[in-house]
């Protein structure tokens, strides 16, 4: 730790900052200052292409020494540094490549009591530029609502890293922190409640169950959540990462047992969001693939609640892939249909080059197989039932439409499982291991 370093954030919007030098370092400094809203005055006889692109031409008769001027702009003095160039400046960056010039800039800044960043010699300056990681965090005051579903307002979390005179080390630490912020592995949830604000709801697709298959956006929203309404088939291990004060509501369903009806789930989302809380509805697979996400979206919209839908990796595609089955395959399958096992599947195209994927269909497997045969599918059509995809008891049981119900019963197949019907099953190691041809 450098005891002489006092970390500080500066609000420089609309204030004059002088950048002495015209090379790539000066260009990077000027760009960051413009993004922060500063009025930047560049003093340099020559400037690089990146810096030239930032410089705004002045109107005829305008002077460069008129004070702060317009925020977020860059103007230039096309000459070498001269005494008096730092007048009215709040901050100075010098990056000329000349130790003598940088020292002269630092000396004048010291005399004027203006903080100075010296790129050539950090010890010669009175301020250091940290490596910075930024991430946007959703607020709940609704100020940013807009679009068909609205969206919460947002604030920015900024992490600045200093590492003494070792900027590369600071950058490495910054990059590591940035990655953790982006994936939601660091706590992002605001602690200070929004006064009188409304909350928000995020319908997050959790994928097939493996926590590493959740999107980075989904992880980040979980890290910001105050309430999580969780399904049984979502990546529940992520719940263990939540802070102790996050409210977790389990609405998981099992076959034939729905302890929390969908209407009550909708009401829970609305209730907590109207109370000003950030709510994540953590679902298995994708919210819009037999996830009833559309119903939850409508319920929230009817109460003016901002909703974000975060897609997930659907089990219909990912679980077959987990055991080596592609749902499409050149020469064997040109398309696929996804249904639940609770539906009449007799209307599915009987073409041999069309794959059928059944979700939640274990209990009706015999009826589904019979219906497909009755609608024109060959009884010898390959079938695979994949249990607990990406989970600890993942298993693939294979057979044909004529045999799969008996094979699955003998093997003790149980939900959750995804059933794949079609020639693509022949690609799987399980099919080859069974010696079915």
Catalytic residue among 102, 139, 178, 231: 231
**Closest alpha carbon to 270 in 235, 302, 292:** 302
Q: Are 350 and 373 in contact (CB under 8 A)?
A: no
**Closest alpha carbon to 375 in 350, 342, 356, 343:** 350
| Contacts of residue 243, Cβ cutoff 8 Å, sequence gap at least 6 | 187, 189
Catalytic residue among 88, 253, 353, 423: 253
Q: Is 347 a catalytic residue?
A: no
Phi, psi (rounded to 5 degrees) for 118: -110, 110
Token couple for 273: 């969001």
**DSSP per-residue letters across 234-280:** S-GGGGGGS-TTSEEEE---BTTB-SS-HHHHHHHHHHHHHTT-EEE
3-state secondary structure of 319: helix
Evaluated on CA atoms 269, 272, 274, 278, the torsion sign reads negative
DSSP state letter for 387? E
What are the E-state strand segments in 287-422? Answer: 307-310, 335-340, 354-359, 382-387, 395-400, 417-421
Q: Are 386 and 414 in contact (CB under 8 A)?
A: no
Strands 227-230, 247-250: parallel, antiparallel or unpaired by DSSP? Answer: parallel
**Closest alpha carbon to 73 in 56, 87, 60, 58:** 56
Distance (Å, rounded) from C-alpha 38 to C-alpha 16? Answer: 6
Distance (Å, rounded) from C-alpha 25 to C-alpha 51? Answer: 9
Give catalytic residues, as residue numbers.
231, 253
């Amino acid at each position: 730790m450098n005891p002489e370093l006092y970390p500080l954030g500066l609000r420089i919007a609309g204030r004059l900052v002088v950048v002495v030098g015209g090379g790539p370092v000066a260009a990077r400094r000027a760009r960051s200052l413009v993004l922060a809203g500063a009025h930047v005055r560049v003093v340099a006889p020559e400037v690089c292409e990146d810096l030239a692109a930032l410089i705004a031409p002045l109107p005829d008769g305008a002077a460069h020494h008129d004070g702060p001027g317009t925020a977020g702009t860059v103007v230039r003095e096309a000459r070498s540094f001269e005494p008096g160039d730092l007048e009215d400046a709040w901050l100075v960056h010098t990056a000329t490549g000349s130790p003598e010039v940088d020292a002269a800039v630092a000396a004048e800044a010291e005399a004027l009591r203006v903080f100075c960043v010296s790129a050539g010699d950090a010890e010669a300056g009175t301020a250091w530029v940290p490596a910075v990681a930024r991430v946007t965090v959703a607020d709940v005051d609704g100020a940013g609502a807009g679009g068909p579903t609205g969206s919460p307002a947002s604030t920015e979390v900024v992490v600045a890293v200093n590492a003494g005179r070792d900027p590369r080390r600071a950058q490495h630490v910054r990059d590591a922190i940035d990655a953790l912020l982006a994936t939601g592995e660091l706590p992002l949830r605001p602690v200070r409640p929004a006064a009188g604000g409304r909350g928000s709801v995020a319908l997050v697709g959790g994928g097939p169950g493996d926590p590493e298959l959740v999107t980075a956006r989904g992880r980040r929203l979980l890290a910001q959540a105050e309430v999580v309404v969780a399904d049984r088939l979502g990546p529940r291990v992520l719940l263990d990462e939540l802070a102790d004060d996050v409210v977790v509501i389990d609405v998981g369903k099992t076959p034939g047992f729905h302890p929390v009806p969908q209407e009550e789930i909708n009401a829970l989302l609305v209730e907590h969001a109207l109370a000003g809380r950030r709510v994540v509805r953590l679902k298995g697979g994708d919210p819009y693939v037999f996830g009833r996400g559309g119903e939850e979206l409508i319920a929230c919209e009817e109460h003016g609640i901002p909703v974000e839908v975060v897609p997930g990796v659907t089990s219909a595609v990912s679980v077959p892939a987990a055991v080596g089955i592609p749902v499409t395959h050149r020469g064997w399958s040109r398309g696929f249909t996804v249904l639940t096992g609770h539906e009449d599947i007799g209307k599915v195209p009987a073409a041999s080059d069309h794959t059928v994927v059944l979700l939640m269909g274990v209990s009706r497997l015999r009826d589904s197989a019979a219906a497909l045969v009755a609608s024109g599918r060959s009884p010898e059509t390959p079938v695979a039932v994949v249990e607990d995809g990406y989970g600890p008891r993942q298993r693939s049981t294979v057979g044909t439409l004529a045999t799969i119900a008996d094979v699955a019963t003998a093997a003790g197949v149980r939900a959750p499982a995804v059933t794949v019907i079609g020639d693509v099953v022949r690609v799987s190691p399980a099919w080859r291991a069974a010696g079915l041809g």
